[in-house]
Amino acid sequence: EKNDESYLGIHPHTDAGALTVLAQDTVPGLQIKKGDTWHTVIPIDEGLIVNIGDMVQIWSNDRFKAPEHRVLASDDKDRYSAPYFYNPSYETICEPLVAEPNDSKYRPVSWRDFRSGRAAGDYADKGEEIQISWFKI
């Protein structure tokens, strides 16, 4: 079945930054996970997909959750997409925007350290991929 991991083009993940704006062609492949089920995002001609990333999840103190998603490959059609990632500056310290510090669900994290650690995990021989769960209080 083409809806399984043997057809993965991009493994399940959340986006590390703040926002991702994705332009894609009309070939399906992007899927989001809701509960334990993967759902195909039906492409809309000339439409854009906007996802929040891990930094918005931290800033919102889990009010908004970065969606886990993946991309399935196709045997018979090429799929094209172009993501634009909105990320904090490397000097930014990301932490929940809360009225009371004791309400924070995350420790402060440097975007530079988080992104470089996440990137190192993108390569199997460079290290484990950092997740925001590492900074949960």
User: Could you tell me the CATH number of the domain that includes residue 51?
Assistant: 2.60.120.330
Question: Is residue 79 situated within a structural domain?
Answer: yes
Query: What is the predicted pLDDT for the residue at 125?
Result: 55
**Residues spanned by the domain of 114:** 5-128
Least-confidence region, from 22-26, 64-68, 73-77: 73-77
Is 4's pLDDT higher than 80? no
In this prediction the pTM is 0.85
Cβ 12 vs Cβ 20: under 8 Å: no
Which helix (H) or strand (E) segment holds residue 69: the answer is strand 69-72
Query: What is the predicted pLDDT for the residue at 119?
Result: 80
Q: Give the pair of three-digit tokens for residue 132.
A: 């925001």
Question: Is residue 115 situated within a structural domain?
Answer: yes
Q: Cα(68)–Cα(58) distance, rounded to whole angstroms?
A: 15
Is 63's pLDDT higher than 90? yes
Question: Is residue 134 situated within a structural domain?
Answer: no
Percent with pLDDT over 90 in the chain: 64
Chain CA centroid to CA 126, Å? 20
Nearest to 76 by CA among 6, 7, 4, 5: 7
Question: Is residue 104 situated within a structural domain?
Answer: yes
Q: Cα(94)–Cα(28) distance, rounded to whole angstroms?
A: 34
How sure is the predictor about 73, in pLDDT bands with cuts at 50, 70 and 90? confident
Chain CA centroid to CA 60, Å? 15
Q: Cα(37)–Cα(9) distance, rounded to whole angstroms?
A: 18
Question: Is residue 120 situated within a structural domain?
Answer: yes
Question: Is residue 38 situated within a structural domain?
Answer: yes
Q: Count CB neighbours of 48 within 10 A.
A: 10
SS3 45: coil
Question: Is residue 136 situated within a structural domain?
Answer: no
Query: What is the predicted pLDDT for the residue at 92?
Result: 97
How many structural domains compose the chain?
1
Percent with pLDDT over 70 in the chain: 88
Question: Is residue 135 situated within a structural domain?
Answer: no
Query: What is the predicted pLDDT for the residue at 3?
Result: 55
